[in-house]
Amino acid sequence: MSRPSGSPADRTATDIYRLLFAAYGPQHWWPAQSAFEMMVGAILTQNTAWTNVEKAIANLRAAAALDAQAMLTMDEAGLRELIRPSGFFNQKAARLRLFCAYYLQTGREAGMRTLPDPRASLLALNGIGPETADSILLYALGMPVFVVDAYTRRIFTRLGLLPEGVNYADTQDFFHAQLANSAPLFNEYHALIVQHAKQHCRVKPDCSRCPVSGFCSYRQGKR
């Protein structure tokens, strides 16, 4: 792989992707046994660490409740207990049930994919914001929609590729404009961003061994 020169004009989202992939390798996202489980995970992961989501998913699976009809049939108090490890369990139980009703009414994954505007229909649901909607579209439905999170904005503003305070839509537009329209690419890229944020670009960054430090405005003292 040829190495980019490092001048700001030469840095692109593709350059950063190549460096992150070379450093961390394939991430094998999303860790789930079914598309429905991915959607449940996307809702449960709001405002909590993934390890907590895994406990909640394990509880749902053990109770044979990792199923839309089962979640709607059981009483909400029981559902709250199962997902308690994910935090905000009152709110998330209500959101899950709302989503499950939508999922069944829409015709599960096949029906969701054929909606005129699947993203808008998800965003119309209470408690589903852009990051959750886009996670569902990309990881569960395999649609080419770039997922943006706080890690994405932190890393790419530090790199100098996005302005401070950039919003969700403009961040997403940046990636959509620079990358091929590919769900597998968007899948891997978002997972690599999460890995990079955990390994090096933390709140207090570890820049000394960072694979993209040669291209980073923050590292070069410009931010």
Q: Quick one: which of 54, 155, 169, 174 contacts ligand SF4 (CB under 6 A)?
A: 155
End-to-end Cα spacing for the chain: 28
**Alpha-carbon separation of residue 100 from 8, 110, 174, 186, 193 (angstroms):** 46, 15, 32, 26, 29
Shortest Cβ 223–ligand SF4 spacing (Å): 8
Tokens of 4: 């980019």
- When asked if residue 212 is in the footprint of ligand SF4 (CB under 6 A), the reply is yes
Q: Which is nearer to ligand SF4, 92 or 196 (CB)?
A: 196
- When asked if residue 190 is in the footprint of ligand SF4 (CB under 6 A), the reply is no
- When asked if residue 66 is in the footprint of ligand SF4 (CB under 6 A), the reply is no
State the CB neighbour count (10 A cutoff) for residue 187.
21
- When asked if residue 20 is in the footprint of ligand SF4 (CB under 6 A), the reply is no
Burial class for 56, CB neighbours closer than 10 Å (0-12, 13-18, 19+): buried
- When asked if residue 207 is in the footprint of ligand SF4 (CB under 6 A), the reply is yes
**Alpha-carbon separation of residue 158 from 4, 16, 28, 132, 162 (angstroms):** 18, 13, 26, 24, 8
Q: Quick one: which of 159, 162, 191, 193 contacts ligand SF4 (CB under 6 A)?
A: 159
- When asked if residue 148 is in the footprint of ligand SF4 (CB under 6 A), the reply is no
Number of residues that bind ligand SF4 (CB under 6 A): 14
In the complex, the residues that contact ligand SF4 under the rule CB under 6 A are: 155, 158-159, 200-201, 205-207, 210, 212-213, 216, 218-219
